[in-house]
């Protein structure tokens, strides 16, 4: 992926994340023309932009560093690595960033280096609970089929004794009956004007009997 690394360094901008001045990321812009790297038929390049679920979760971690300090953390569906970077900045003992997109596996170390931290990158989908204390999951419930699969996986993790925190802006597939709200922030989302409300939840794995 050396060509991908060179493309990212040359054609993406290293910029401060809106609402999170503590973190800078390589982000695409119109002149980047990402299709030259990934092709016209590739999966959406979620790793190249900021999304509300990851942003709100990173903001929460930075505001509540005790939730990650000294713990083994997995950034699930890491994308740019923003949540894992926040965890590393706040003193996590270890951070593993997991994403199925090989380009995410290229950009995450670059973003980590730009913020003075180191993340371990795992390319592929987790199918069994990892050896971790905490899973941080931003924007993993955006499609019904994926949401069902991720809900089952997160439930298995909770049953294995792993805490799971979720960041989301309230997309329709979000399993609210399995979540307990912890915090709310107004944050940016790619392609949307201004700031939008998003929340951080604890995944319980058991129905809460509400939809708030």
Q: What is the torsional sign of CA 25, 26, 29, 34?
A: negative
Question: Backbone phi, then psi, for 153, in 5-degree steps?
Answer: -65, -45
User: 209 in a domain, yes or no?
Assistant: no
- Summarize pLDDT for 64-119 with one digit per residue, the tens: 999 999 999 999 999 999 999 999 999 999 999 999 999 999 999 999 999 999 99
Specify the CATH number for the domain of residue 62: 3.40.50.150
Give the DSSP per-residue string, 137-186. Answer: EES--SSHHHHHHHHHHHHHHHHTT-EEEEEES--TT--GGGEEEEEEEE
| pLDDT at residue 207 tops 70 | no
In a domain, 157, yes or no: yes
Residue 37 lies in a domain: no
pLDDT of residue 44: 76
pTM of the model: 0.94
- Residue 208 DSSP class: -
Model confidence band, residue 211 (pLDDT cutoffs 50, 70, 90): very low
H/E element, 11: helix 2-11
pLDDT confidence band for 1 (50 / 70 / 90): low
Give the total number of structural domains in the chain: 1
Q: What is the rounded distance in angstroms from the CA atom of residue 31 to the CA atom of residue 23?
A: 23
Domain with 140 in it = 2-32+45-203
Token readout for 193 is 């004007």
Residue 87 lies in a domain: yes
Q: Which tokens belong to 91?
A: 């003193």
Q: Is residue 109 part of a domain?
A: yes
Residue 208 resides in a domain: no
């Amino acid at each position: 992926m050396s060509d991908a690394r060179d493309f990212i360094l040359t054609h993406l901008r290293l910029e401060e994340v809106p609402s999170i001045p503590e973190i800078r990321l390589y982000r695409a812009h119109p002149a980047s023309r990402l299709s030259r790297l990934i092709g016209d038929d590739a999966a959406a390049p979620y790793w190249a932009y900021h999304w509300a679920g990851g942003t709100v979760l990173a903001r929460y971690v930075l505001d509540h560093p005790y939730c990650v300090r000294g713990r083994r953390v997995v950034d699930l569906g890491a994308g740019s690595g923003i949540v894992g970077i926040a965890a590393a900045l706040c003193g996590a003992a270890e951070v593993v960033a997991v994403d199925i997109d090989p380009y995410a596996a290229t950009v995450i170390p670059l973003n980590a280096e730009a913020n003075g931290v180191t993340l371990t990158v795992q390319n592929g989908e987790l199918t069994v609970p990892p050896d971790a204390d905490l899973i941080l999951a931003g924007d993993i419930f955006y499609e019904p089929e994926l949401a069902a699969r991720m809900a089952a996986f997160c439930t298995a993790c909770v049953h294995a004794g792993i805490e799971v925190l979720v960041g989301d802006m309230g997309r329709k597939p979000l399993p609210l009956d399995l979540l307990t709200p912890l915090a709310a922030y107004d944050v940016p989302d790619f392609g949307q004007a201004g700031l939008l409300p998003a929340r951080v939840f604890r995944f319980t794995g058991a129905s809460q009997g509400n939809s708030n």
